[in-house]
Amino acid sequence: MKKEELVEIFSNLHPEDSTGQMIGEVHLANGQVIKTDSLRVDMDGGRIILSEDKSSMHEVNKRNWIQELIFYKNKQRQSA
């Protein structure tokens, strides 16, 4: 998926799809599925970052997503 495709999807979400919890799933080659609520979209780097619950990066990744939202909101204010 390209960034512009992701932006298009998010900009045209149905209102019911724009609220609530997001869960990331990673499907491994051995059939294991890892689910996590620690996910972050890094548009600068072109990455979606998921951190497993037991990893040392789980909480850091969740906090970094909050920082991404702050950057976005500040950018919106500067454009207004």
User: What confidence score (pLDDT) does residue 27 get?
Assistant: 96
The pLDDT, as a whole number, for residue 61 is: 87
Q: How does pLDDT run across 10-67, given as a tens digit for each residue?
A: 898 898 998 998 999 999 999 999 999 998 888 888 899 999 988 999 989 888 877 7
Q: Is 38 exposed, middle or buried (0-12, 13-18, 19+ CB in 10 A)?
A: buried
The answer to whether 38 and 53 have CB atoms below 8 angstroms apart is yes
pTM: 0.71
Task: For residue 70, give the amino acid letter.
Answer: I
Stated length of the chain: 80
Q: Kindly give, in sequence order, each residue whose CB lies less than 8 Å from that of residue 64, ignoring residues fewer than 6 positions away.
A: 40, 49
